[in-house]
Copies of this chain bind each other. A is one copy, B any other.
Amino acid sequence: MVKTAGIIIIGDEILSGKIQDSNSHFMVKELRLHGIDVRRISVIPDDVKEIANEVREFSERFDYVFTSGGIGPTHDDVTIEGIAKAFDVKITLNKVIKKFLYKRFGKHLTSEQLKIAKVPEGAELIKNGTVKFPIILFRNVYILPGIPEFLEKKFFVIEKLFDEPPFLLKKIYIKEYEPEIAPYLNQMVKRHKDVKIGSYPVVGNRDYYVMVTLESKDDKSLNLALNDILQKIPRRKVFKVEG
């Protein structure tokens, strides 16, 4: 069975258009390389109840959940509270993180800074030399920061823990309009059920008008489908094949 994941982007800054989310695209691409199928991405507000509901639902539906954002020291950082509420556990001050903060800030440590040592009771810490601050894991929920530079560093640590067969991808760039190729693509979909076939029109390119994608974890099935499709398209209409 293919392992599944859901991504929850927490942040009013995305929902109000102040910042464009790039974290979900980054994570999706990385997870795909590790053979994990992302089934859903949600962008939700910095709201305890909404976070709790979404995290609970995602945690039940998917093998892995990744949250991004809302774990800083300010008033609008309520992700930890939301996750604790999702599983009806308390919030505790984690000793390891507290120690780390004392080491860094000494007696200048403020109560706001100390907020980032708070975790849902029962959380695990993933430590690794490449990240200063440990990664917080609660059950199947990886709690990640919203700042892309920090998220990416932490994600590279986590993804090493996954070891699924990767998805294999082929792309065919075709100089033909989608409605023209739709009839035989529809046939191909029926014939190659173990290959995921996608069709994406491209606007403003002179060399190709549609990108057709084929995906599978099985190399043999993938090549069978690829050859079958290529036989149906006149050679001069195939701009290139990738993968």
What residues of chain A have their CB less than 8 Å away from a CB belonging to chain B? 12-22, 24-25, 28-29, 31-32, 37-45, 72-76, 110-113, 147, 149-150, 167, 169, 178-179, 182-183, 185-186, 189, 196-201, 203-204, 213, 215
Q: A90 → chain B, closest Cβ, in Å?
A: 22
B182–A110 touching, CB < 8 Å: yes
Contact B18 A213 (CB under 8 A): yes
Given known A18-B198, A204-B149, contact A178–B72 (CB-CB < 8 A):
yes
C-alpha gap A73/B200 in the complex (Å): 11
10 interchain residue pairs of minimum CB distance: A112-B182, A17-B29, A41-B43, A17-B28, A74-B199, A20-B25, A113-B179, A73-B182, A149-B203, A75-B189
Can you name 20 extra interface pairs (CB under 8 A) apart from A18-B200, A74-B199, A112-B183? A13-B200, A15-B40, A16-B32, A16-B198, A18-B169, A19-B200, A20-B25, A21-B25, A40-B42, A40-B43, A40-B45, A73-B179, A73-B182, A74-B178, A74-B182, A74-B185, A75-B185, A75-B189, A76-B199, A112-B179
CA distance A28 to B37 in the complex (A): 27
CB closest residue in chain B, given A148 = B203
Cβ–Cβ contact B41 & A16, under 8 A:
no
B residues within 8 A CB of A42? Answer: 40-43
Q: Given A74-B186, A183-B110, are A13 and B147 neighbors across the interface (CB < 8 Å)? A: no
Chain B residue numbers with a CB within 8 Å of A112 are 179, 182-183, 186
Residues of B within 8 A of A12 (CB): 196, 198
Residues of B within 8 Å of A29, CB to CB, are 17
Quick one: closest B residue to A171, CB to CB?
Answer: B18
A149 to B204, CA, bound (A): 9
Contact present for A215 and B43 (CB under 8 Å): no
Instruction: Give Cα A72–Cα B32 distance, bound, in whole angstroms.
Output: 25
Cα of A17 to Cα of B112 in the assembled complex, Å: 36
Among B16, B24, B169, which residue has its beta carbon within 8 angstroms of that of A38? B16
B39 touches A76 (CB 8 A): no
Bound complex: CA A20 to CA B27 (Å): 11
Among A13, A43, A201, A215, find the residue whose CB has the most chain B CB atoms closer than 10 A.
Answer: A43
Question: Do A15 and B43 touch (CB < 8 A)?
Answer: no
Some 5 contacts from A to B, beta carbons below 8 A apart, are: A14-B28, A17-B38, A72-B178, A72-B199, A75-B182
